[in-house]
Chains A and B, each alone.
Chain A
Amino acid sequence: MSIEVDPKRARPLPFVVAWIVMLVLWGVSLWTAFLGLGLWAPIIQFGIAAIQVTTVFILFMRLKGPASLKSLFAVSGFFWLLFLYGLSMIDYSNRKGWPPVAPVSSSQQVHPPGS
């Protein structure tokens, strides 16, 4: 019997390249944490995380290829998150007194261990 090899599984090179790219992106993300970029730091870091996650979804979790029902499932997960974040932020951002003031100033209360 001849073994029919799935062509998408035949070559490891794209996965190795994706792994290297993800590690390089991690290095960039770590580097930006020490640059004092202010508000831009989390934007860049979460942007890099989004690129890494997309790479994992498309290549490692095998969403690459013709559109299928599993792609629809994966995209629906993203939209559920969008609803969750969107509706929650609309709620909180319209509340009076948000964002709140920190309840304790930086002079600090200090809890003893075990309290």
Chain B
Amino acid sequence: MPDSVIPAPEIQYANLAQQGETAELGIWAFLINETVFFGALIFTYYFYRLSYPDEFAAAAKDAVLWAGSVNLVILVTSSLTMVLAINAAAQGARKEMIRWLVVTVALGVAFAIVKGVEYYLDFQDQVVPAVNFVAKPGQGSVGELFWVFYWVATGLHAIHLITGIGLVLYMLLWPIRRGEITPAYYTPLEVVGIYWSFVDVVWLFLYPCIYLVGRS
């Protein structure tokens, strides 16, 4: 294990606290963009669901409920493990921090695997617009709109999740391995944690949009 180093602030900052605050503002500014990005996507969903409620309910019945539910539990749990890793970083518990980050990456990979299985089942169920799609009774051609939303929304979410896995792996393989994450300055890990939890937030909204419609 490398010796911990007390990092010096970058030249433009008076101290590490100011540097950390700026980094946090940076991730929040980025997340405002992300909020509007996913917000516009979810608005199109609301709009079409209000326009064609019966057809959307019929189409959504084919969504794989168990996969969406398992993935929600996985993501919520990964938000917890990420925050426990940051906790450990703040307390200088290096081994604990690494352990929680590895668990977080494992949960992220588990999400991606479940999503992959779900996509396979979707393909078997012929709900892939423009590639392999068969409209089921009650859906009409509008059912295809639901599935376009499904693939775009879950695909974009998966890209964000894979980015998050990459960021956590980077933290493990670079700053943490070099002993740059210390109780004096662990903002880089905190910024990655905020991003990771945002990916969780997006799934918490996509879940009722996709998986809970038309079940009764």
Chain A residues engaging chain B, CB cutoff 8 angstroms: 3-6, 9-10, 12, 15-16, 18-19, 22-23, 26, 29-30, 32-37, 41-42, 45-46, 48-49, 52-53, 56-57, 59-62, 68-70, 73-74, 76-78, 80-81, 84-85, 88, 92, 98-100, 102-106, 108-114
The residue of chain A having its C-beta at the shortest distance from the C-beta of B44 within the complex is A88
CA distance A73 to B30 in the complex (A): 10
CA distance A85 to B211 in the complex (A): 22
Residue contact A106 to B194, C-beta cutoff 8 Å: no
CA distance A92 to B134 in the complex (A): 30
Residue contact B142 to A88, C-beta cutoff 8 Å: no
B201 at the interface (CB under 8 A from A): yes
Q: List 8 A-B contacts (CB under 8 A).
A: A19-B80, A23-B73, A45-B208, A49-B205, A106-B58, A109-B135, A111-B134, A113-B133
User: Of A3, A15, A76, A81, which contacts B80 at CB under 8 A?
Assistant: A15
CA distance A56 to B129 in the complex (A): 34
Q: Which of A46, A56, A76 has its CB near the most chain B CB atoms (within 10 A)?
A: A56
A-contact bits for B115-126, CB 8 A (1 contact / 0 none):
000000000001
Which residues does chain A contribute within 8 Å of B188, judged by CB atoms?
none
Residue contact B52 to A80, C-beta cutoff 8 Å: no
B55 at the interface (CB under 8 A from A): yes
Which residues does chain A contribute within 8 Å of B89, judged by CB atoms?
9
Residue contact A77 to B31, C-beta cutoff 8 Å: yes
Q: Taking the nearest CB of chain B, how far is it from the CB of A27, in angstroms? A: 10
The residue of chain A having its C-beta at the shortest distance from the C-beta of B195 within the complex is A61
CA distance A12 to B91 in the complex (A): 12
Residue contact B47 to A92, C-beta cutoff 8 Å: yes
Residue contact B84 to A73, C-beta cutoff 8 Å: no
B64 at the interface (CB under 8 A from A): no
CA distance A97 to B36 in the complex (A): 28
The residue of chain A having its C-beta at the shortest distance from the C-beta of B144 within the complex is A111
Interface hits, B99-148 → A, CB 8 Å: 126, 131-142
Residue contact A9 to B91, C-beta cutoff 8 Å: yes
Residue contact A60 to B83, C-beta cutoff 8 Å: yes
Having A23-B73, A77-B31, A106-B139, one finds 15 other A-B pairs with CB under 8 Å, namely: A5-B92, A6-B183, A15-B84, A15-B87, A26-B207, A30-B212, A33-B216, A60-B200, A68-B21, A77-B36, A78-B35, A84-B43, A111-B135, A113-B132, A114-B132
CA distance A3 to B4 in the complex (A): 12
Residue contact B84 to A12, C-beta cutoff 8 Å: yes
Q: Taking the nearest CB of chain A, how far is it from the CB of B127, in angstroms? A: 11
Which residues does chain B contribute within 8 Å of A111, judged by CB atoms?
133-135
CA distance A70 to B198 in the complex (A): 15
User: Of A23, A35, A42, A74, which contacts B208 at CB under 8 A?
Assistant: A42
Q: A85-B43, A102-B54 are in contact. Are A49 and B204 (CB under 8 A)?
A: yes
Residue contact A104 to B134, C-beta cutoff 8 Å: no
Q: Taking the nearest CB of chain B, how far is it from the CB of A12, in angstroms? A: 6
